Amino acid sequence: MKILVTGATGYIGKRLIPLLINDGHVVVCPVRDVKRAESYFKEEQNIILVEADFLKADSLNNIPKDVEAAYYLIHSMSNSAKEFHVLEERCAFNFKRYAENTTIKQVIYLSGITNDTKLSKHLLSRKNVEKALSSKSYALTTFKAGIIVGSGSSSFEIIRDIVEKLPFMIAPKWLNTKTQPLGVRDVLAFLHKALSKKELYNTSYDIFGPEIMTYKEMLLQFAEFRKLKRTIVTVPVMTPKLSSYWLYFVTSTSYKLASSLVNSMGVEVIGNKSNINQLLDIEPISYKKALELAFKKIEQNSIISSWKDSYVSSKLQGFLHEFINVPEYGCFKDFKKRKVKDREIVLDRIWAIGGNTGWYYGTFLWKIRGFLDQFFGGAGLRRGRRHPTELNVGDALDFWRVIFADKEQGKLLLYAEMIMPGEAWLEFKIKDGILYQTATFRPHGLAGRMYWYSVMPFHWFVFNGMINNINKLK
């Protein structure tokens, strides 16, 4: 069967596609940036990548029409908390218009539980998308999930940040809101097993874990699982804005995403019971079991996808390959080169840069720069990296984004997502036995030039120390 998967490079999409391929299906992936997606799926067979943007109806003409089923996993298409609901509905409308002119028989949509009478803007958008997708030309199957728990999920990473960083918490009152967390393994099972099930055509089901818990209980159980003693005091005085700042400074989320999450976390996410577990023979695992599976993935360095690598956590609005050509004119550069002592050792060090490894020199200064970036609304160093030794195009790497990564060619190019008056690139390249390390900064106006000259003294010894440590023998 030929199956269309939208949101293919997202958290759920990247985990669902291998399951479909293992079943022998051909998977069509419409993506906004084919070059970025190629690095994700280079090991997979039976994948057709098509460049298309569901915000642009004309681009959907590139997608094959001989598909039999589709997964609609598009979500959070914009970093703007003010306009994301408008863009989501536009995407759904464009998808529906495309799907009605194909051979698609079933569309499977992953949404959020929307049973509360007072929905947040985020959850109301999910509900409106479901209405927009409904059609007489194909059958719609909707699964509505609450908090998804799994390695790399935004919920898991936020809880992990809070618990592991704060022994004592004065927290917002929304920590007392009830929810039903669901393991990512079960989410994938529902999506996978629903394919071509005619009894699920034109139906909608809430999917949820076996426990009703408050966010506070989720934090305390996480702490218990990690053998950490934590005390949480909830107070009613934190406004949504203060709560958003609290979440932003404590966790690796952006402020805009934190704001959307806070608005949703005030809404109870309790599912309506149904016979869907029996229909698909799925028995959802407990919250603690979901945590156990998540940490097994982390310990094995086998996290397939992370929300931090999506466009939601990126300040880049265009295609990544638009930033691959580092500008030459009107730029400041810090250029270093060394004769390579051992190519394999050097490449391994370059590919392990950032995250827990650090930046090989001036760790304290990198941390200060990360704190300043976070203070002014940037990502800081909180995002880390998905894997300790692997890098793919599009990966988040502290406050950088991977633009190009080819180990055989010996080249890694990073684009800065930190707050600064200009644009910056950091490139490592090995050619003819020489390691080239180049930091490029394109300033915006006078402020950009003043910024460069103010940090230039630090660059001199930080970048010098960095290339020396990368190139040294063991």
Geometric angle at alpha carbon 314, from 13 and 427, rounded to 5°? 105
Using 50, 70 and 90 to split pLDDT, how confident is the model at 88? confident
Distance CA 46, CA 22 (A): 10
**End-to-end alpha-carbon separation of the chain, Å?**
51
- Tell me the pLDDT of the chain averaged across its residues: 84
Amino acid at site 426: L
Q: What is the pLDDT of residue 336?
A: 93
Q: Read off the pLDDT of residues 14-60 as tens digits, 9 standing for 90 and up.
A: 889 989 999 999 999 998 888 777 777 766 678 999 999 998 999 99
**Its pTM surpasses 0.75:** no
Q: Read off the pLDDT of residues 163-219 as tens digits, 9 standing for 90 and up.
A: 887 888 887 787 888 899 999 999 999 999 999 999 999 999 999 999 999 989 998
Does position 78 have pLDDT exceeding 70, yes or no?
A: no
Helical packing angle, 154-165 and 215-225, nearest 10°:
70
Domain spans in the chain, listed from the N-terminal domain onward: 2-309, 324-471
Q: What is the pLDDT of residue 304?
A: 53
Distance CA 357, CA 359 (A): 7
Q: What is the pLDDT of residue 301?
A: 53
Q: Read off the pLDDT of residues 113-156 as tens digits, 9 standing for 90 and up.
A: 887 767 777 778 888 899 999 999 999 999 999 888 888 777 78
The CATH number corresponding to 324-471 among 1.10.10, 3.30.530, 3.90.870, 2.60.40 equals 3.30.530
CATH homologous superfamily for 2-309?
A: NAD(P)-binding Rossmann-like Domain (3.40.50.720)
Beta bridge partners of 430: 435
Amino acid at site 302: S
**Around Cβ 327, how many Cβ atoms within 10 Å?**
12
Using 50, 70 and 90 to split pLDDT, how confident is the model at 252? low
